[in-house]
Amino acid sequence: MSIPAVDVLTFGEAMLSLQSEGPLSAGGTARTTVAGAEFNVAVGVARLGHRVSWAGRTGRDEPGRVILRTLRGEGVGTSHATTDAQAPTGAMLRERRVADLARVHYWRAGSAASRQRPEDLAPALEAGARILHLTGITCALGDGPRAAVRSAAAYAAEHGWTVTLDVNHRTRLWSRDAAVAALVPLLPYVDVVIASDDELPLLCAGAGAAADRAEADLAQELFEAGIGEVAVKRGADGAVLHLPGEPPVAVAARAVPVTDTVGAGDAFCAGYLSGLLDGLDPLARLHRATTTAAFGVASNGDWEGLPHRDELSLLDATPGSAVR
């Protein structure tokens, strides 16, 4: 059996990100960075010492070059990323509107990422990976990206990879009904579902009625569909892992000062994937995932504060102390 080129392969829209510290209408200053769900996960997994490849599509423009340069600087492979000379890289503005409330504006219609097609991924898939990580955001970008997700999931399942799906539902991208129609057909290829407690019903029959069902019942329905494990993100209340035939495993969130919650779910995914790759037991996987999420919410930016492997124990130190 050939050795996979990487531990994790992912793809999806990475965008130029402008982050304002105050209301845009009041002339709030902004810093320039890059962001995107799969981008954040790729950086997080790479910082934890794993081999990662990002095979998304950017415009042939300066934001696209910044995205690829940032990924390479974080140790993420970009040799299978593609560029589009006819479409721009998408952009977003995150505006700190009042107190700790942020508002996000997107410019992604017609972006290079919305034009990704299954054939763009062929070289990355042929190179191989242990895990294919997908999110619902990519499916929401259009017919091409949705087809790319489905074909990649089918390829990975056929070749024995672990396929992980973070539901990551964004109401400003698509409706719940549209999400259900796109995500449920992916389930035969998926091994691990990661979702917040309010997203889990999107993957179950009769999604509207499913919102009133117990979480354990929803997880059981997913097990019957072939899913191997269901990790549920509960924000400040921690996380729960459901496994077939076993009682749920729960961990509390790490207690940290909350600075910025955007990207916390991606940080959780990065830690969880790392735990899978390291063969950690269920409790240890959840602990790593909630630890990386804590680093995310305690730092400014979507990914900048994510930990390297040798930093995972920092949160065990006494708050306010100096590690010497």
> Which residues does the annotation mark as catalytic?
266
Say how far residue 147 (Cα) sits from the centre of its chain. 19
226: left (phi over 0), alpha (psi -120 to 50) or beta: left
State the Cα–Cα distance between residues 76 and 234, nearest whole angstrom. 28
Q: Please tell me what DSSP assigns to residue 307.
A: P
Two tokens at 315? Answer: 């949160």
Computed on alpha carbons and rounded to an integer, the radius of gyration of the chain in Å comes to: 19
Contacts of residue 216, defined as CB under 8 A and 6 or more positions apart, other chains included, come to: 242, 248
State the Cα–Cα distance between residues 140 and 161, nearest whole angstrom. 24
Contacts of residue 3, defined as CB under 8 A and 6 or more positions apart, other chains included, come to: 128
Instruction: Kindly state the greatest CA–CA separation across the chain.
Output: 60
Beta strands in the chain (DSSP E): 6-10, 15-20, 30-35, 52-54, 57-59, 76-77, 82-84, 91-98, 101-107, 129-135, 162-166, 192-196, 229-233, 239-242, 249-251
